[in-house]
């Protein structure tokens, strides 16, 4: 998968999910060099090179630290900048320009926005490269990230804020919807455990069906809505143009995207 070795700066939940996917796909542990000040027991048991000397010219360096740690962490990789190493950053809110300033303008960089379902290989990641990132670099990035889900390519880095608001933050919206559905079921007389089980399975199943079906989500919705039936009664509340889900979701995604822009602009 990676010729020349891979350096992983930071191995928290997202970094661990990616590393697990790569190892499952046959990446030799000896080809991976991880820098992490607080390695987990799982990481210690993988057989990767941990907190040791880095190779002189690894093929890829993945930056997977929290945005507030970037200033402290990047100097460890600065010596790899400006050469043949591709830098792949999954740090939210850190623009390519900031990475170029730290690593050198001649450094090939791909910025990526994954989401938390990557932990179960069901994520979706958006990527965009700088001027030095070649089609080969983008292909290598897509191969790596496909180990934890789907990959889409953006036309410009400016789209990353919208991606952050939609798919980056989106899992939390869905988790909250599950909470709300379960509480609504309880209000109608279901036991809490049963209501939660029904809510989780309903959301997971509907999502799987939406991905697998040839029909659009709108068509699937129509297909399960009998005239004057129970689903229609519920949808009339949910789809109200003034008080329902459409305006609420517009405001939700916009708020997250706006916050992403604020963080990017300092």
111 contacts 95 by C-beta, under 8 angstroms: yes
* 107-126 pLDDT per residue, tens: 999 999 999 999 888 999 99
Q: Are strands 109-113 and 123-129 parallel, antiparallel or unpaired?
A: antiparallel
Eight-class DSSP state of 213: -
pTM of whole model > 0.85? yes
88 contacts 144 by C-beta, under 8 angstroms: yes
89 contacts 111 by C-beta, under 8 angstroms: yes
Residue 226 has a pLDDT of: 95
* 208-256 pLDDT per residue, tens: 999 999 999 999 999 999 999 999 999 999 999 999 999 999 999 999 9
What is the percentage of the chain residues whose pLDDT exceeds 70?
98
106 contacts 86 by C-beta, under 8 angstroms: no
CA–CA dist 212, 195 (Å, integer): 26
Residue 158 has a pLDDT of: 94
Residue 4 has a pLDDT of: 62
* 167-186 pLDDT per residue, tens: 999 999 999 999 999 999 99
Domains along the sequence of the chain with CATH: 6-160 (3.40.50.720), 170-264 (1.10.3730.10)
Radius of gyration of the chain (CA): 21
147 contacts 21 by C-beta, under 8 angstroms: yes
Residue 262 has a pLDDT of: 86
Q: Report the candidate in 169, 166, 167, 139 with the shortest Cα–Cα distance to residue 153.
A: 139
Q: How confident is the model at residue 266 (pLDDT cuts 50, 70, 90)?
A: low
- pLDDT(3) > 80: no
* 35-63 pLDDT per residue, tens: 988 899 999 999 999 998 888 888 999 99
- pLDDT(72) > 80: no
Bridge partners of residue 126, in order along the sequence:
113, 152
Q: How many helices (H) and strands (E) are present in the chain, helices listed first?
A: 11, 8
Q: Are strands 60-63 and 49-50 parallel, antiparallel or unpaired?
A: unpaired
Residue 37 has a pLDDT of: 86
């Amino acid at each position: 998968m990676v010729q020349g070795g891979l350096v992983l700066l930071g191995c928290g939940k997202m970094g661990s999910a990616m590393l697990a996917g790569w190892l499952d796909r046959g990446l030799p542990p000896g080809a991976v060099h991880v820098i992490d000040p607080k390695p987990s027991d799982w990481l210690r048991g993988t057989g990767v090179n941990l907190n040791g000397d880095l190779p002189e010219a690894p093929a890829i360096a993945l930056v997977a630290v929290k945005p507030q740690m970037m200033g402290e962490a990047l100097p460890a990789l600065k010596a790899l900048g400006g050469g043949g190493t591709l830098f792949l950053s999954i740090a939210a809110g850190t623009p390519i320009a900031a990475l170029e300033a730290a690593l050198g303008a001649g450094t090939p960089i791909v910025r990526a926005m994954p989401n938390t379902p990557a932990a179960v290989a069901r994520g979706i990641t958006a990527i965009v490269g700088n001027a030095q990132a070649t089609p080969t670099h983008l292909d290598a990035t897509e191969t790596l990230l496909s180990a934890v889900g789907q990959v889409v390519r953006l036309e410009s880095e400016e789209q990353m804020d919208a991606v952050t608001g939609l798919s980056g933050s989106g899992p939390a919206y869905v988790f909250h919807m599950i909470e709300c559905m379960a509480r609504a079921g309880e209000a109608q007389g279901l036991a809490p455990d049963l209501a939660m089980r029904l809510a989780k399975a309903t959301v997971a199943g509907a999502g799987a069906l939406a991905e697998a079906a040839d029909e659009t989500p709108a068509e699937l919705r129509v297909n399960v809505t009998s005239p004057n039936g129970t689903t229609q009664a519920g949808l009339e509340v949910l789809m109200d143009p003034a008080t329902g889900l459409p305006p609420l979701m517009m405001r939700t995604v916009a708020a997250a995207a706006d916050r992403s822009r604020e963080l990017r602009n300092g």
